[in-house]
């Protein structure tokens, strides 16, 4: 085999990858799904919010007549832990081109009672049924070639907050947004990176829900370290992503009153804007 063919053969396929296994939900009864939240997607001890969104998105993809998330709004209530969880879904409305559903992720307290972690409202459709036209001229973010970017494995600069999830991801950060890792944050609310799954699985609409919340927080470049918990996160999936690495660009315009927004754009290898997201997060101002 050629080197390229070997690399190709080693790549995990959509449906048979770490991400697919760790987001797999088991139908308990109509609309109710069990899952064991994997410790493989944690940052320090918290389960990553994008991974959790993908779990909820997968349950809704099964519960609704349409399978692709078009817009998903999540309100984060309490911090999730690795371990057993249940997703309860509710079909709000089904239409010809769009269906709307609601889903909640619960875990269990010491007495076995359900504690709600996240609640989402989402509208689903069929991305392949959309016309192919693009009428606007938004341009992809300018990120240096991957070999000039840096990931957690490229130390010696330790990537603050790194944890299990870094082994599941292919992150190559733009050096221009890496000042924080060297003790010299730029002061600009920007974070840019190449993004993929470590086992080479190509992106799909579900993994885009992970991609929008997988980079280090823009707060780091604003000189703030520590935990930036998400209050609310809404994702729009605009196009089925082409195979190959994604580019993710996150910007913050307004850090004020102890909150900030993070706007993410995700671009695919075919230069299509495949997802947009915005989250409201809390910051601890020092």
Which residue in the set 238, 246, 247, 248 belongs to the binding site for its own copies (CB under 8 A)? Answer: 238
Q: How far is the CB of 120 from its own copies (least distance, A)?
A: 8
Which residues have CB under 8 Å from 186's CB, separation 6+?
A: 176, 177, 179, 180, 221
Closest CA to 209 of 263, 161, 275, 261: 275
Cα-Cα end-to-end distance for the chain:
56
Which residue in the set 7, 24, 157, 256 belongs to the binding site for its own copies (CB under 8 A)? Answer: 256
Q: How far is the CB of 181 from its own copies (least distance, A)?
A: 20
Q: Does 286 bind its own copies (CB under 8 A)?
A: no
Q: How far is the CB of 238 from its own copies (least distance, A)?
A: 6
From residue 19, alpha-carbon distances to 168, 172, 203 in Å are 8, 19, 10
Q: How far is the CB of 190 from its own copies (least distance, A)?
A: 11
Which residues have CB under 8 Å from 98's CB, separation 6+?
A: 66, 70, 123, 124, 125
Q: How far is the CB of 143 from its own copies (least distance, A)?
A: 17
Contact mark string toward its own copies, 29..48, x via CB under 8 A: --------------------
Q: How far apart are CA 49 and CA 79, in angstroms?
A: 9
Q: How far apart are CA 132 and CA 28, in angstroms?
A: 38
Among 8-16, 43-51, 174-182, 269-277, which window interacts with its own copies (CB under 8 A)?
269-277
Contact mark string toward its own copies, 126..145, x via CB under 8 A: -x--xxxxxxx-x-------
CA dihedral 215, 212, 51, 55 (to 10 degrees): 180
Q: Does 273 bind its own copies (CB under 8 A)?
A: yes
Q: How far apart are CA 251 and CA 228, in angstroms?
A: 15
Q: Which residues bind its own copies (CB under 8 A)?
A: 70-71, 73, 75, 77-78, 92-93, 98, 100, 102, 116, 119-123, 127, 130-136, 138, 189, 222, 231-232, 234, 236, 238-239, 252-261, 265, 272-273, 276, 278, 280, 285
């Amino acid at each position: 085999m050629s080197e390229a063919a070997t690399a190709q053969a080693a790549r995990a396929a959509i449906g048979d990858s770490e991400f697919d296994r760790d987001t797999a939900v088991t139908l308990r009864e109509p609309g109710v799904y069990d899952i064991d939240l994997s410790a493989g997607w944690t940052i320090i001890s918290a389960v990553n919010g994008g991974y959790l969104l993908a779990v909820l998105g997968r349950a809704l993809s099964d519960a609704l007549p349409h399978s692709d998330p078009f817009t998903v709004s999540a309100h984060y209530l309490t911090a999730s832990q690795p371990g057993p969880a249940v997703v309860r879904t509710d079909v709000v409305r089904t239409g010809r081109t769009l269906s709307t559903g609601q889903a909640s992720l619960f875990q269990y307290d010491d007495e076995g009672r359900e504690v709600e972690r996240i609640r989402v409202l989402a509208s689903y459709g069929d991305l392949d049924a959309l016309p192919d036209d693009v009428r606007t001229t938004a341009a992809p973010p300018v990120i240096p070639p991957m070999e000039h970017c840096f990931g957690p494995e490229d130390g010696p600069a330790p990537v603050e907050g790194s944890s299990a999830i870094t082994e599941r991801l292919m992150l190559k950060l733009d050096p221009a947004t890496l000042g924080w890792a060297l003790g010299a944050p730029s002061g600009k609310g920007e974070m840019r990176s190449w993004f993929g799954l470590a086992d080479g699985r190509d992106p799909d609409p579900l993994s885009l829900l992970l991609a929008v919340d997988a980079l280090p927080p823009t707060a780091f470049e604003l000189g703030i370290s520590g935990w930036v918990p998400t209050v609310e996160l809404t994702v729009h999936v605009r196009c089925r992503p082409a195979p190959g690495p994604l580019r993710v660009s996150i910007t913050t315009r307004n850090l004020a009153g102890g909150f900030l927004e993070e706007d993410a754009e995700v671009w695919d290898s075919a230069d299509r804007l495949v997802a947009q997201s915005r989250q409201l997060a809390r910051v601890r101002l020092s």
